[in-house]
Amino acid sequence: MARTVQSLSKPQTNNCHLLVLISGSGTNLQVIIDQCENGTIPAQVCGVISDEPQAKGLQRAKNARIQTTVVDHRCFDNRQSFDLRLGEEIDRYRPDLVVLAGFMRILDAKLAGRYYGRMLNIHPSLLPDYPGLNTHARAIAGLATEHGASVHFVTPELDAGPIVIQGRVPVLPSDTPESLAQRVHQEEYRIYPTAINWFARGRLSIEADRVLLDGHPIDVCA
């Protein structure tokens, strides 16, 4: 049987347009901006969208002279209307890659499907363990010995898309959700730029819902 490999978009060097979606402080956004500016990631952030008007990450974008858009979920009568407007705003930027960096809204299935292979998310757990919220507290309560973060392609099913890379940290006996979160954040700052860099250089593809790097299966625990 023939192999079906989905080759992801292969932008020209330094011409990969990233659109970053945020809801909060934007610390992952800042790492991405910095690595685009210093040339580590051959891409540029073309815009930042937030569902929270007071998100601190919006100021980070403005400081870098990046265009921002707010789609406040509280201004819509229902989720369908919000999803429609969000999709329109994403499409308006015409991004090569959509990067969810602490974006706290569940995306519409049609939107996730339309951008399949061109939308990444970072989740604070070692997926498939602990999808959803409160992952650090759940890892401690579940007596996990390891915890971490996962970068994955977005699919209509929550936190279930093909995994690109994971970063691991030990769970210490003295850990609180806050202390564990701090160490996981450091892994996020390492693995998210790595995944974006691979995409921007045209090195990623998907075969049967598994991510390939340069045509070979990835050891996601990098």
Is residue 170 a contact partner of residue 146, using CB atoms and an 8 Å limit?
Answer: yes
Nearest Cα neighbor of 11 from 217, 197, 220 is 197
In the sheet that holds 5-7, the strands lie side by side as: 5-7, 204-207, 210-213, 216-217
Residue 56, SS3?
helix
How many H helices and E strands in the chain? 6, 11
The single residue of 17, 73, 123, 152 carrying the catalytic annotation is 123
Chain centroid, CA 99 distance in Å: 5
* Active site (annotated) includes residue 185: no
- Write down the H helix ranges in the chain: 27-37, 56-63, 79-93, 109-114, 135-141, 177-200
Spatial separation of the C-alpha atoms in residues 80 and 83, rounded to whole Å: 5
Spatial separation of the C-alpha atoms in residues 2 and 52, rounded to whole Å: 46
Active site residues: 123
